[in-house]
Amino acid sequence: MTSPEESPASTPAPRLEQTRHLASAIPGPVSRELMSRKQAAVSVGVSTTMPVFATRAAGGIVEDVDGNRLIDLGSGIAVTTVGNSDPRVVAAVATQVAAFTHTCFMVTPYEGYVAVAEQLSRLTPGEFEKRSALFNSGAEAVENAVKIARTYTGRDAVVVFDHAYHGRTNLTMAMTAKNMPYKHGFGPFAGEVYRAPMSYPFRDDPAMDGKLAAKRAIDQIEVQVGADNLAAIVIEPIQGEGGFVVPAPGFLAGLAEWCRSHGVLFIADEVQSGFGRTGTWFAVEHEGVVPDLVVSAKGIAGGLPLSAVTGRAEVMDAVHAGGLGGTYGGNPLACAAALAVIETIEADDLLARARRIEEILLGRLRDLQAGDPRIGDVRGRGAMVAAEFVDPTTGDPDAALAKAVAAHAHAEGVITLTCGTWGNVIRFLPPLSISDELLTEGLDIVAAGLAATR
Ligand code: PLZ
């Protein structure tokens, strides 16, 4: 691995020291000042996990306006997978921004967009001819995947799952499971979206293996929707906001097989789980499942806004000419960044790095779990790992504990995110560029937070 300090001389080194450092309380005075400006200028609807304002970030560190250096266990919600301001991404974007910033691909196209689509054809699962379309956000790409599936199948209904998160636009709010904060008061929502039971091994009956969980979902879909009305199943292979729920082995394959035999498209929302995060390019690969359409975003472009729908050529080309697009979709800067991200993941073997991070995360969290019954479950793959907190006697979700542990980490300079339907899960999403030392130090602080709440 190349640390930011060792990056090639031809690319600008971020020179951000890779150590945690507390120069002030969290938040410090400059962040406090900015937070009061935020309150006076930014809608209260847009909230922040930590009340500190960033100035620079690289490797495994985010530096704030008060000179604090925070350990990054969040990657801006699974976005800066190759590391923040990775020198190769910076150089690619700098070259592109100096050449041209925008023409609109629908007006005068450019090579970068096509090159990203070619790479997606190569990297997504499935040995068949593929096409892609590029967009700006995860939600926008999920919406477009549904549009494409409806056109191809001539059917309306879409099935999503308990605990699912697919975005905040109208259609994707309908697809997202959790009311607060994502949906509350924002309806009415788009129709023809149906919810099926997810495989959630920690909370399912132990006898409910992947096959049975798939059968449970399929039975409900057949009764409540009917395969003939169903365009697609949309599923996160490992759920993100919903709690890093890893379905039981065989669940995804069971659903995919049923889809195939009923002319229903299987769409993998890999917005959070994709692009190397779990140690493979896409998380469905762990289950040997080949989706008809794959949705990418977040990690694809190292922080520049880019998303994609990639899939079977006959499906993607069922749409009428001009039916897909948008002013900024596949913006040239974002495409340049994505090509550099792909090159970086391959050159630095970041898939192996994600698997090494998995060992560290799972190993440490399982050790903690062995001595602390409040950790009900430890799960995840690669650099997408979580601990679920419960009341040890009842098994009920313990959101207050997750919140207290995260607050302790924040005060000590570790960016830690929570998630889960009940808010009782702490998730670990470090950039793959983090050092073992910083990752271990971050985990030490989380462990100390846990001990402090006993
Ligand atoms: N699908 C699986 O994880 C975004 C949301 C943060 P956008 N997850 C982070 C928040 O509170 O808004 C996400 C996801 C999955 C779709 C999306 C949506 O991606 O790029 O945020 O639109």
Question: Among residues 306, 325, 347, which one ends one of the domains?
Answer: 347
Read off the pLDDT of each residue in 311-336 and give the average, rounded to a whole number: 98
- What is the pLDDT of the chain when averaged over all its residues? 96
pLDDT cut 90: percent of the chain above it? 96
Asked whether residue 73 falls in the same domain as residue 135, the answer is: no
Instruction: Quote the Cα angle for 276-165-399, to 5°.
Output: 100
Nearest to 94 by CA among 298, 304, 299: 304
Question: Among residues 295, 329, 347, which one ends one of the domains?
Answer: 347
As beta bridge partners, residue 380 has 385
Which CATH number does the domain housing residue 307 bear? 3.40.640.10
Give the atom of ligand 1 at the shortest distance from the alpha carbon of 273.
2
Asked whether residue 100 falls in the same domain as residue 65, the answer is: no
Is 187 in a helix, a strand, or coil? coil
Give the model confidence (pLDDT) of 61-74 as tens digits.
Answer: 999 999 999 999 99
- Nearest alpha carbon, ligand 1 atom 1: 166
Query: Which token pair is 106?
Result: 């629908």
Query: Which token pair is 12?
Result: 């600008």
What is residue 176's DSSP assignment?
-
Cis peptide before 392 (omega within 30 of 0): no
What is residue 124's DSSP assignment?
S
Tokens 């994502």 identify what position?
A: 182
Predicted pLDDT at 401: 98
Distance CA 293, CA 414 (A): 36
Asked whether residue 343 falls in the same domain as residue 353, the answer is: no
- Nearest alpha carbon, ligand 1 atom 21: 138
Give the atom of ligand 1 at the shortest distance from the alpha carbon of 297.
20
Is the Cβ atom of 165 under 6 angstroms away from ligand 1? yes
Give the atom of ligand 1 at the shortest distance from the alpha carbon of 305.
20
Buried-exposed string 366-378: b where 16+ CB fall within 10 A, e elsewhere: eebbeebebbbbb
Asked whether residue 53 falls in the same domain as residue 101, the answer is: no
Asked whether residue 414 falls in the same domain as residue 287, the answer is: no
Contact 368/376 with Cβ under 8 angstroms? no
Predicted pLDDT at 97: 98
Asked whether residue 305 falls in the same domain as residue 262, the answer is: yes
Secondary structure (DSSP) of 258-300: HHHHTT-EEEEE-TTTTTTTTSSSSGGGGGT---SEEEE-GGG
Predicted pLDDT at 6: 47
Q: Is the pLDDT of residue 446 over 60?
A: yes
Question: Among residues 318, 347, 376, which one ends one of the domains?
Answer: 347
What are the phi and psi torsion angles at 219 (to 5°)? -55, -45
Give the model confidence (pLDDT) of 379-433 as tens digits.
Answer: 999 999 999 999 999 999 999 999 999 999 999 999 999 999 999 999 999 999 9
Give the model confidence (pLDDT) of 151-178 as tens digits.
Answer: 999 999 999 999 999 999 999 999 999 9
Asked whether residue 188 falls in the same domain as residue 57, the answer is: no
Asked whether residue 38 falls in the same domain as residue 105, the answer is: no
Write out the H or E segment, with its range, that includes residue 447.
Answer: helix 436-452
Confidence of residue 76 (pLDDT cuts 50, 70, 90): very high
Which CATH number does the domain housing residue 70 bear? 3.90.1150.10
User: How far apart are the CA of 166 and the centre of ligand 1, in A?
Assistant: 6
Contact 64/52 with Cβ under 8 angstroms? yes
Confidence of residue 2 (pLDDT cuts 50, 70, 90): very low
Q: Is the pLDDT of residue 3 over 70?
A: no
β-pair type (130-135, 307-312): antiparallel
- Indicate the top mutation candidate among 49, 134, 163, 166 to test ligand 1's pocket, ranked by most ligand atoms within 8 A of CB: 166
Range of the domain at 15: 4-82+349-452
Asked whether residue 287 falls in the same domain as residue 210, the answer is: yes
How many of the other CB atoms lie within 10 Å of CB of 343? 15
Q: How far is CA 242 from CA 167, 190, 393, 414, in A?
A: 12, 21, 23, 22
Give the atom of ligand 1 at the shortest distance from the alpha carbon of 307.
20
Contact 253/189 with Cβ under 8 angstroms? no
Predicted pLDDT at 15: 75
The answer to whether the pTM exceeds 0.85 is yes
Asked whether residue 326 falls in the same domain as residue 436, the answer is: no
